[in-house]
Structure 1
C-alpha cells in the first residue's frame, strides 16, 4: 500500500510538473507585420535592413511638440538619430536647428550638412579631438564655431586644456559646464567646485566664453521605490538650481541669457509638465522609441524603428548531441519545435514578429546566421522576414547601408546613416 501511495504521489508530481511546462507562444505575423513581410518579399532586396515607420515617427514628434509647446525648445540628440536625412526631417517638423553631438567626425559632418545649426557637445571630448574638428573644417565653410558650437567642460583640468587650445587656435571657444545633478557620471560634483573653477577662470582670463550649463538626469526615470520619482526629480532640479546660483555669482563670466540644457528622452515629460530650471530639452530616442525606452513616461510614444531580416533556413529545432531526447525537450517546450536562421545577427534587438520567437540560449548567438526558435504555429518559411525591435538606435545605424522609409504600408524612399562602416557615438 505504501509503495502504491508513493507511486501515486510520484505520478501526480510528474503530471503537475508537466502542467507547468511552457505554453505555446507561436503565432503567425499580425496584420501590420504580415503586410510588411509581403512588401519586403517583393522589395526588400534580400538583406537585413532598418525600417522607419514615418507615420509613427510623425506621431511621436507631434506628441513631443505638443507637450513642450512654446516654453521649451528641443535639441535633437544625434547619436540616437544618426542620419542627416532623419535629422533634417525632424528638424523641419519640430522647428529646430539645435543638435547635441557626441562624436568628432559626426560633428564635422553636421557643420557641413547644417551650416546654420547650433551644435552642443553631449560629452566632453579630448582636446585632441576638438583640435581635429578645426583642422578638418573646410576653409570655405559658412559654419562659425565661435557662435554656433559649444564644447562641454567637465573638470578644471579640461577647462585648462581647452583654454590652451583656444590660445593655440587664436580664436575664442564657446563652452558649457557639465554638472552632476544626481546621475554620478562625472561633471562638476558640487556648486562649490564649480565656483572654485569659475574663480580660477575669473583670475586667469582666457579666450573661453561660457554659454551655460548641461545636466543629465536619466537616473530619475529609474528611481527606486524607496525614493520615488517625484522626490528624485525635485532633488535633481534643486541641485541644478544650486549650480546655477553658484554660476550667477560671477556676473563678469556668466551670460545674461545662458543656455540651461538638460532632460533627455527618459525625463522630458517631467520637465514639460512641471517646474523646471531648464530652458531647452535634449531628446532623441523618444522619437523612434527602441525597447530600452519602454517606460511609463513614454507610454504614449510608439515604436517607429524595426530591424528586418530574411529567413535563410526553416527547419526542426533539433540540437547537436541530444539524439532521442529532442522529442522530450520539444514536447516539454513547444516553442523549441522549429529553428529559423536569419541573414546576419547578434544585433541589440529583440524578436517581435512573428510572436513567440526567441534566441536559443542552448545554441548561442551568431553575427552570421542568428538562430531563433519558435513553435510550428509561427508559420514562417524560407524567404519570409522576421522583425526585431532594436533595444537602442545609437551605434546601430552604422551597421546598415540605408534606412528604408515606410508610409501607409509603402516604401517611399530611404536615408543614409552617418558613419557607415564605423560606429558613431
Structure 2
C-alpha cells in the first residue's frame, strides 16, 4: 500500500496529502452497508475536501452535515442540497446572510438547543426585513450522553453538548419553535459520542457502550413521541450516530438517518474499533531531511496534532513500518525526528530525501494543513483537488 503511494508521488515534494480512492470508495460502501438501508449523511468536518464530499454523495450518501452556517451557505452556493448544520451558531453575520439567502432557507437546517438560539434567528429575520417565508428550518440537538446514578452522585458519560436531555425539556423547546414566526421544526439530533467516538478497547468500554445503546434507545423514542405530541405531526428528520455506532443507531425504528464521515478516511483514533474493519485511505507524506545518527531520521514538517485531550493518542501515527515518533519531541513544529523501533523486522532504511508516511489522529483536521490533496488510484495520481484551505476557506 505505502509503496504504491511512494511510487505515485515520487515526482512530488513533501509535505503532501494523499487519499487512496479505491479505499475511500470501499469505506463509503461499507458505511452504507453498516447503516442497513437507513440514509447516511456525510459529516463534512471529517472530510474538508469539497470534491470528496461530493464523491461520497455519488456513492450513495444523502445530504451533508456541515459544522458552521458559513460553510453551509458556501456548500449550497456550490450546488450541495440538504445541509444540516451540526452545531448551534451565534454568528450574527452568517445568520443574516442565511436570512437573505432564499436557496439557503430551503436547503439549510440550523441546530439549536436554547431559546437564545431562536431569538438570534428571529433578530436576523427582523433586521434583514426578509420576512417569515420560507421559514428557517431548525433541528433540536438532544443530549445523548449516559447519566448513571451512583448514590447521591450522577455520573455523566459522554460529551458536554446540549442541555436538552429529558423528554419534557425537548418538548418545551419544540413548542417554542412551533410558536415562533419564521421558524419551522424539522427534527431532532442525537449524537451518542460515548458510543460512536470511543474505541472498543476494553471490556469496560464495551459495557458502557451496550448500556448507552439500551438507555438511549428507550429515551430517544420517548423524546420523539413527546415532540410529536407537541407539534402535532411526525418529524421529517431524526438523526443519530457516527462512524462507530452506525449499526446500533440505524437499528432504532425512530431514526430516519445516520451521519458518518471519519470512516471515509479512517484516521488513527479508529484503529482499535472492533465493529468494523479499519481501512485507512488518507495519509500525509514527509521527506527526510536529516539522519542525525544511525537508526534515526528527521523529516520536514509533521506537527499535525489532533484536537481533544492532550495525550499521545492525538499524535500522528507513523505508517511507515518500523519507525516511531520520539517520546521527547513527538511531532515537531518544523521537523519531526523518528527512530527505528527496537526489534523491528523489515523496517526500511531512511536516508536524506526518502519519504515517510503518516496518518492523522483524526480525519478532516489534517486537511487544514494542506492546500490540495492528491487522489491516488493504483500507483498513480489521477487527480489533484483543493481542500477547504486550498479554496481559501476556514470555518473554525
TM-score (norm 1): 0.78
Q: CA–CA distance in 2 between the matches of 1:372 and 1:88?
A: 36
**After the TM superposition, which residues 284-299 of structure 1 pair with which residues of structure 2 at under 5 Å, given as runs?**
284-299=261-276
Which stretches in structure 2 are left out of the alignment for 5+ residues?
146-157, 306-314
Could you say what secondary structure the match of 2:365 adopts?
coil
1:347 paired residue among 286, 291, 304: 304
Give a deviation string over 1:107-163, Cα, whole Å, max 9, x none: 222011125x001010001151532533885xxxxx612321101111122223223
Could you say what secondary structure the match of 1:383 adopts?
coil
CA 1:372–1:125: 2 relative to 1, 3 Å: same
Q: CA–CA distance in 2 between the matches of 1:95 and 1:122?
A: 16
- Displacement of 1:174 in angstroms is 0.7
Residues 359 and 372 in structure 1, CA contact (< 8 A), matched pair in contact too? yes
Higher relative contact order (CA 8 A, sep 6+): 1
Q: CA–CA distance in 1 between the matches of 2:395 and 2:382?
A: 26
Q: How well do the aligned residues superpose, as a CA RMSD in angstroms?
A: 2.5
* 1:153 paired to 2:112: yes
* 1:106 paired to 2:77: no
Which stretches in structure 1 are left out of the alignment for 5+ residues?
1-31, 138-142, 317-336
Could you say what secondary structure the match of 2:170 adopts?
helix
Q: CA–CA distance in 2 between the matches of 1:60 and 1:200?
A: 40
Q: CA–CA distance in 2 between the matches of 1:118 and 1:105?
A: 15
How many residue pairs were aligned? 360
* 1:88 paired to 2:65: no
**After the TM superposition, which residues 5-404 of structure 1 pair with which residues of structure 2 at under 5 Å, given as runs?**
32-41=1-10, 43-44=11-12, 46-70=13-37, 72-94=38-60, 96=62, 98-115=63-80, 117-134=81-98, 144-168=103-127, 169-171=130-132, 172-182=135-145, 183-187=158-162, 188-201=164-177, 204-221=179-196, 222=198, 224-225=204-205, 227-252=207-232, 255-272=233-250, 274-316=251-293, 337-348=294-305, 349-363=315-329, 365-374=331-340, 378-404=348-374
Give a deviation string over 1:331-363, Cα, whole Å, max 9, x none: xxxxxx432121212113534343222222234
- Displacement of 1:195 in angstroms is 2.5
Residue aligning to 1:6 = none
CA 1:424–1:343: 2 relative to 1, 3 Å: farther
Residues 266 and 279 in structure 2, CA contact (< 8 A), matched pair in contact too? yes
Q: CA–CA distance in 2 between the matches of 1:295 and 1:278?
A: 27
- Displacement of 1:82 in angstroms is 0.9
CA 1:36–1:393: 2 relative to 1, 3 Å: same
Could you say what secondary structure the match of 1:144 adopts?
helix
* Max Rg structure: 1
- Displacement of 1:270 in angstroms is 2.0
CA 1:211–1:50: 2 relative to 1, 3 Å: same
Residue aligning to 2:310 = none
Q: CA–CA distance in 2 between the matches of 1:135 and 1:162?
A: 8
CA 1:132–1:373: 2 relative to 1, 3 Å: farther
Residues 31 and 243 in structure 2, CA contact (< 8 A), matched pair in contact too? no
Q: CA–CA distance in 2 between the matches of 1:200 and 1:339?
A: 62
TM-score (norm 2): 0.83
